[in-house]
A and B are shown apart, each in its own frame.
Chain A
Amino acid sequence: MEDFIVAAVKTVIAFALLFTVVLILVWAERRIVAFMQNRLGPTRAGPLGILQTLADGLKLIFKESMTPDRVEVWLYLAAPIMALVPALLIFLVVPIGAPITIGGTEYTLQVTDLNVGVLYVLAMSSMAVYAIALAGWSSGSKYPLIGSVRSAAQMISYEAAMGLALVPVIMFNGTTSLAGIVEAQGATYFGFLPAWNIVLLPSFVVFVIAMFAETNRAPFDLVEAEQEIVGGFHTEYSGFRFALFFLAEYINLFNMSALTVVFFFGGWQGPVFGPTVVQWILPVIYFFAKTFAIVFLFIWVRGTLPRLRYDQLMSFGWKRLIPVSLAWIILAMIAVGIRRFGLPWA
C-alpha cells in the first residue's frame, strides 16, 4: 500500500513537472527564436511574456473543436490522446536526481526504475509515430495523409539509427536501466574529468540527429511542414485536440533532451556538497541545467537550419547514419572488450 501511494505521488509530481516545463519551453522557444531573428517574441502576457503559453492554452480550450465530415471518427478522436500518452510515459523512467533517504527509506527521484529502461524509452518514442500516422490517415484529407506517410518513412529511416546509437552506451555502462547508466557515469578520469558517456562522441552525434527526426523538429520537420503541407498531420485538428498534439510535441522535446543528458552527460551527476537538503537539490539542478542546455541546442538548430528535402532525409538516414553507427558499434565493442579482458596478445 505504501509503495502504491509513493508511486502515485511520484507520478502526479512527474506529470505536473512536465506540464510546467512545457509552459516554459514553448515560451523559451518562441523568445529565443525571436531573438535570433532580431525580434522580441511574446512579451505581453505576464513578466517577459512567460504566461503566453498559458494564455494560448486557455484560448485553445475554449475554441470549438471541429470534426470534419470525412474523418474516421474514433481514430480521429483517439490520435491526440495516443500522441500524449507515450510522451508522458517516457518521463516516468527518467531519473531527475540522486536517490534521497527520508526516515530510513530510500526514495528514487524517478517514478520507476525499469531494468529495460532503454528499450522502454525506444518503444515509447516509436509509439508516438502511430499517433501521427493515424491522425493523418483518419483526417480524410490529402495534406494530413502526406504528413502521416512522411512520418512513417521518417520513422523507419531514423529509428534504427537511434537504437544503434544507444548500443555502445549500453555496452559501455553494462546496463539498460537509466538509473544504472547515470550511476555508471559517476566516476571521474584523472580525478577531475567527469566520466560521462560523451566520450562516445559518434554515438552522441548520431543520437542527436536521430532525436531531431524522432521529435519532428527542424531540420526534419517534414511531417508538419507548414509551408508545404499546411501543418501536415494536424491540419484538420482544432481546439484542444490541436493543443494536445502540441503538448505532446513539446513534452517529447523535453524528454529527448532529458534522455540525451541521461545517456551522454551523466544525468544528475555533478559536484555535490553542503548539508543534506542541498545534496538532494543540487543533482536536480544539475539535471535541469543540462537538459535545458540540450533544449537550447534544439531551439538553436531550429533557428538556424532550413528544412531538409524528403529524399535527402531518407538517404542521410540509411546511407550515412546507419553505417556510421554500425561501424562505431564494432569499434566500441573492441574497446569494451579490451577494457574488460585486456589486449588479446597480452
Chain B
Amino acid sequence: MATIITTMKLLKFTRIVALLFIFHTVFSLFLIVSPTFNAGLLTSVYRKYLLPGPFFTKDRIEQSYSMLVSCKVGNTWLPVSQPALENYHRLMATGNPKAMLQTRLDRYFYYQYLIAKHKNPDVQINMEFEQMLNYYQNYFPVGTDSVKLIFVKKGTSDLAITVDTLYTIKHGVD
C-alpha cells in the first residue's frame, strides 16, 4: 500500500514538473515569435537568462567603431596604429584566445567613451576618456608626450560600405 502511495505521489510530481516544463517551452516559443512582447520582470529575466540570444542582431553586424592612435614622441607624430584591430588580427593569425580577450577589452574602453560622448556630445574629456587613456598607456611608446585619437565609424548596409570619422582628439599624456 505504501509503495502504491509513493508511486502515485511520484507520478503526480512528475506530471507537475512536466507541466511546468511544457509551460516553459511554450512561453519561450511565444517570446521568440513575439520579440516586442514585454511583461516586466518575468519577460526580462526570461530573455536575459533563459533565452540567450539572438547573437548576430542587425545593429551588431551593420556597424563597428574603431579607434586609431597616433603618439607624439619628441617632435614627431608616429604612424597611426589600431591596438584593438591588431589584437584581433593576432587572434585570427594565431588562434590565441588571449588575443581574443585583449581585443574585446581594447574595444570595451573606447566604446564606453563613445557611449558617454554620444549621451553628452559637448563634453569631450570625461571620466570614460580618462579611463580609456589610462588603459591605453600600455600601448604608448616610452617618451610619448601627446596622443591623437581618431574615432571612426564603419557601416555596411545595402551592399555598400561607409566610413566616417566621428571625432579626432589631441591630448597630452602625463
Our verdict on whether A and B bind, yes or no, reads: no
Interface, chain A (partner B; CB < 8 A): none
